[in-house]
Amino acid sequence: MMKFLVKQQKIEVLEREVLASDQIAFVLVKFVFDGAWKTLHKVVQFTQCEETYNVVLGIDGTTCLLPAELHPGAVKMSLFGYDAESDTTVRATTVPVTLHIRPSGFVADGDTPGQ
C-alpha cells in the first residue's frame, strides 16, 4: 500500500512501496487529508505520457486502486477537490508527486489463467 498525507496543496509520502507494471486492481493508494480537504469532493489524477486517469474519491473516500493502464516509467499523481455545496467556485489543487513504475516479470503467453 502507498500512503500519502495531503496537507493544503502539498502531498507528502507516508509509506512507499515498489510499484510494478501489469497489475490489475492490486495496488491500494491511501490518503490522509488535513482539515481543509475534509468537506471537499476529491479526485485523484494519475498522468503518464499525456494520458490522465481520474479516480473519484468523493467526500468521504480515502483510498483508490492504482489504474491498471499505467506502464513502466514516471507517473505524476495529484489531487483536486471542489465544494459542490458552495455558492462560489471553490477548487483545491496539489502540486504533483512522481511515482515510478518498474517493469514487471509478467509475460502474457495466452496460457496464463485469470487474464
In a domain, 114, yes or no: no
Predicted confidence (pLDDT) at residue 1 exceeds the cutoff of 80: yes
CA distances from 97 to 47, 78, 106, 111 (A): 10, 7, 26, 37
- Residue 88 confidence (pLDDT): 87
**How does residue 91 score in pLDDT terms, banded at 50, 70 and 90?**
very high
How many structural domains are present in the chain? 1
The answer on pLDDT for 48 being more than 80 is: yes
Q: Which domain holds residue 24?
A: 2-102
* Per-residue pLDDT tens digits for 22-31: 999 999 999 9
Whether residue 111 is contained in a domain is answered as no
CATH number, residue 48: 2.60.40
Phi/psi at 35 (5° precision): -60, -30
